Structure 1
């Protein structure tokens, strides 16, 4: 296997360990596994020469911001969680910029904005009774950023771009439902069992699209 394949394998193994650590509440292993898995997708982007294009540079920035967000979300403290939320919001802005730098299918862009926007409103309606006042504006802004990332990713795929743009965006959005459910609605390791694999699959899809 080449270096990228080894990094994909390392990421997958780290995610397995991470889910196990979530179930066992093994905090030291949780920290190590999560940061290892997140480091893998940053390293893949670097090995695939992300800095060689404007699109790649935006993706690399998004991966670095995601790594920081992952580190912050290891904490259960509200202020640190909010910092992680805003870091991921910034990552979605960078992802959106990456996809907006590609050729887009405009009808698909408007369609994706409509569908993802409606899905975001449904998500907010579900979460709203569970959100404390200081979370409401932050979560609303985050959902808007998620929609702004997903729509151009789907549009770029529809224009003939890599299928992993759309697949990654949809997997990322689904993983965020798990994060929200775990934080605000029904905490528990079961959320991590499906949310974490989806999240890392999304990041790997985006990173591997550089190759």
Structure 2
């Protein structure tokens, strides 16, 4: 399977997932979501993820995120926390990829890091009144996301320039899509959250998979 075919398969299952979310079809959700996530893992493998240390880190991140996607399907606090944990580990694996080779700090990284501190602070300020017992886990998770996006400005994927716009766009897309998840879980549940958050999330993962 080529990268392009895997990406198209992913897009097709995302469309089915949106249909499942709109209809509230639990059975179709259990089919479409794992399949869409498996497709971005296969896309990375097709792109050569096993041929470099950077690619292996990204592959690990994608597999962990696939586990998080599956854990978020059931409704329940324990599975939600498990999903958060899997995604946090996925973000950490992306950080490992972006730091591979110990790149030198640059001005664009400093600007990106400062922007992500502001983004994280504003996100937590918005969510804080709604989080209850989740305040601690969400604060830690938000810090990990901010670090993941900041380090994306340092990433040096094989055969790509540093900084890589593909990686930066994927990292930012991933972070922004998490706002849809947070709004759905803590603020205002609505199909609207999934309608824009899911395509953005899967598109971001495909961009990161393409960077290998």
Aligned to 1:189: 191
Is the aligned partner of 1:123 residue 2:129? no
With the length of structure 2 as denominator, give the TM-score of the two structures. Answer: 0.93
SS at match of 2:162: coil
* Aligned-residue offset at 1:122: 0.4
SS at match of 1:66: helix
Aligned equivalents of 2:92, 2:44: Cα separation in 1 = 18
Aligned to 2:172: 170
Moved over 2 A (4+): 102-105, 154-157, 159-162
* Aligned-residue offset at 1:209: 1.3
Structure 1 gap ranges (5+): none
With the length of structure 1 as denominator, give the TM-score of the two structures. Answer: 0.94
Aligned to 1:98: 97
SS at match of 2:155: helix
Q: Is the 8 A contact 1:104 1:152 kept in 2?
A: no
* Aligned-residue offset at 1:69: 0.3
* Aligned-residue offset at 1:106: 1.7
* Aligned-residue offset at 1:154: 2.6
SS at match of 1:132: helix
RMSD in angstroms over aligned alpha carbons? 1.6
Q: How many residues align?
A: 208
Q: Of 197, 202, 205, which aligns to 1:203?
A: 205
* Aligned-residue offset at 1:104: 5.2
Aligned equivalents of 1:43, 1:166: Cα separation in 2 = 21
C-alpha distance 130-60 of structure 1, shift in aligned 2 (>3 A)? same
Is the aligned partner of 1:59 residue 2:91? no
Aligned to 1:180: 182
Q: Is the 8 A contact 1:116 1:151 kept in 2?
A: yes
* Aligned-residue offset at 1:161: 3.8
Aligned to 1:25: 24
Aligned equivalents of 1:105, 1:156: Cα separation in 2 = 11
